[in-house]
Amino acid sequence: MAARQETVARVEEIDVDAYKYGFTTDIESEKAPKGLSEDIVRFISAKKNEPDWLTEWRLEAYRRWLTMDEPNWARVKYPPIDYQDLYYYSAPKSTPGPKTLDEVDPELLRTYEKLGIPLREQEILAGVETRKVAVDAVFDSVSVATTFKDELARAGVIFCPISEAVKTHPELVRKYLGSVVPATDNFYATLNSAVFSDGSFVYVPKGVRCPMELSTYFRINEQKTGQFERTLIIADEGSYVSYLEGCTAPKRDENQLHAAVVELVALDDAEIKYSTVQNWYPGDSEGKGGIYNFVTKRGDCRGRNSHISWTQVETGSAITWKYPSCILRGDNSQGEFYSIAVSNGHQQVDSGSKMIHLGRNTRSRIVSKGISAGKSQNTYRGQVSAHRKAEGARNFTQCDSLLIGHECGAHTVPYIESKNPSAQFEHEATTSKISEDQLFYAQQRGLSAEEATALIVNGFVRDVLQQLPMEFAVEAQKLISISLEGSVG
């Protein structure tokens, strides 16, 4: 559908330099030498005292990766990445394995404090807030703090760095690692399989409703350091877990690579809610610097009546390449994807979702809200498919784009494929502009151009924000306003 032919007369003044989280932290770190080779892969594996099977798994992935090409079908442009000019391992020196927050380098904690994250965390610790959130923080490559471990353990929930799970629960890791996103899946996922550093591991046993929100904060700090986290979440039969990840990075002139893999497995009657608030550094007003966010996220609704729901608020990164997906394998399983992707300045977003219907009566729903401002490009790319056996599969996709200014672009690329005649797929798409009439109306009532834009944008994204856990919805709303600062007037 064509954009409404209204022109915002204003020339957009972009101030993406105002990135709030662009400080670096002064901590000594321990790095592997630059570049990638079998030796580096072995080094990473050895650093983590990994069992042989995992070292082999990484090496196989590495060898496979050497034969692969970087994908080029996404609507994003960037100069070639020199994979030999990156560090693949960096750990803050004060680690190995802090047991409590007291043991964590205070400088590191201050970093999280500056991020505004552990505020909640600290409130919780001080008993101010009743709702509990367990936090795993990953700094560059290493997980530095996991809170509430004991309380979770009493419920039987395992929530720990994946490097630790490899040692304490090898049977689970071995069974599920790579079972949703195989080591050979795609260029970035395969790279991740070879060099992944850390990430979170969650296992919720049968019938257990996880007693609190789980959350991980990722931060890239070191220069020229790739971050390759690996997250694995398993919800056993009849269990429920809600998980939130947040991401930030300091301002750097060069681009930083982030290639994460997230795997979710939901067994019979289990439910996983996975939310992301991604605010990696988007680069400056000239388009210099910023994170390349090439991420593979996939959930496997392996069991009957299982349910996986992705919610994402994406405001950061210079380039986003990300398609959280659901494989609806179990009969009656259900997949959801709710997304808000905001782009400003020179950001490029190519994001969307895949819903692969394999089982009977599987249902999926995609609600995507793209907001483009400045000179950014924002593409929704989605795939919905029904396998021959996916009797009665249903999908509803709604894809709305909002344009601010006249130098940005919004694109919608849906792929729909059905091999079962009983499948019903619906797709709705709209593109609109914040009209000058709307802005003036709100300004006449007393709102500044920025406040007016934020209000209208919040209205536009409201139904997705409602999918986020309450306390994060407020944060996400603020983040959206911040990232659109300077997009009008």
Residues lying near other proteins in the complex (CB under 8 A) are found at: 9-10, 435-438, 440-449, 451, 455-456, 458-462
Q: Concatenate the DSSP letters of all residues of 52-90 into one string.
A: HHHHHHHHHHHHHHHT------SS---PPP-GGGSBS-E
Residue type, 78: Y
Helices (H) and strands (E) in the chain, counts: 11, 24
Of 429 and 447, which has the nearer Cβ to other proteins?
Answer: 447
Closest contact distance (angstroms) between CB of 400 and other proteins is 10
Closest contact distance (angstroms) between CB of 1 and other proteins is 15
Chain mean position to CA 288: 22
d(CA 355, CA 439): 37
Closest contact distance (angstroms) between CB of 360 and other proteins is 36
Of 94 and 438, which has the nearer Cβ to other proteins?
Answer: 438
Of 78 and 441, which has the nearer Cβ to other proteins?
Answer: 441
Closest contact distance (angstroms) between CB of 116 and other proteins is 22
Q: Are 366 and 397 in contact (CB under 8 A)?
A: yes
Of 37 and 448, which has the nearer Cβ to other proteins?
Answer: 448
Of 60 and 463, which has the nearer Cβ to other proteins?
Answer: 463
Of 429 and 449, which has the nearer Cβ to other proteins?
Answer: 449
Closest contact distance (angstroms) between CB of 315 and other proteins is 18
If you search the block for the tokens 């856990």, which residue do you land on? 469
Structure tokens that stand for 389 in this block? 């056996």
Q: Where are the beta strands (DSSP E) in 373-467?
A: 377-386, 394-403, 409-418, 424-433
Closest contact distance (angstroms) between CB of 320 and other proteins is 24
Pairing assessment for the beta strands 230-235 and 261-266 based on DSSP bridges? parallel
Structure tokens that stand for 300 in this block? 């496997």
d(CA 231, CA 158): 13
Of 420 and 435, which has the nearer Cβ to other proteins?
Answer: 435
Of 224 and 406, which has the nearer Cβ to other proteins?
Answer: 406
d(CA 231, CA 235): 13
d(CA 489, CA 448): 9
Q: Are 365 and 396 in contact (CB under 8 A)?
A: yes
Contacts of 97 (CB under 8 A, 6+ apart): 164
d(CA 140, CA 44): 14
Closest CA to 310 of 323, 293, 294, 321: 323
Closest contact distance (angstroms) between CB of 123 and other proteins is 22
Q: Concatenate the DSSP letters of all residues of 148-165 into one string.
A: SHHHHHHHT-EEEEHHHH
Closest contact distance (angstroms) between CB of 445 and other proteins is 4
Of 7 and 424, which has the nearer Cβ to other proteins?
Answer: 7
Closest contact distance (angstroms) between CB of 10 and other proteins is 7
Of 255 and 481, which has the nearer Cβ to other proteins?
Answer: 481
Closest contact distance (angstroms) between CB of 7 and other proteins is 10
d(CA 263, CA 265): 7
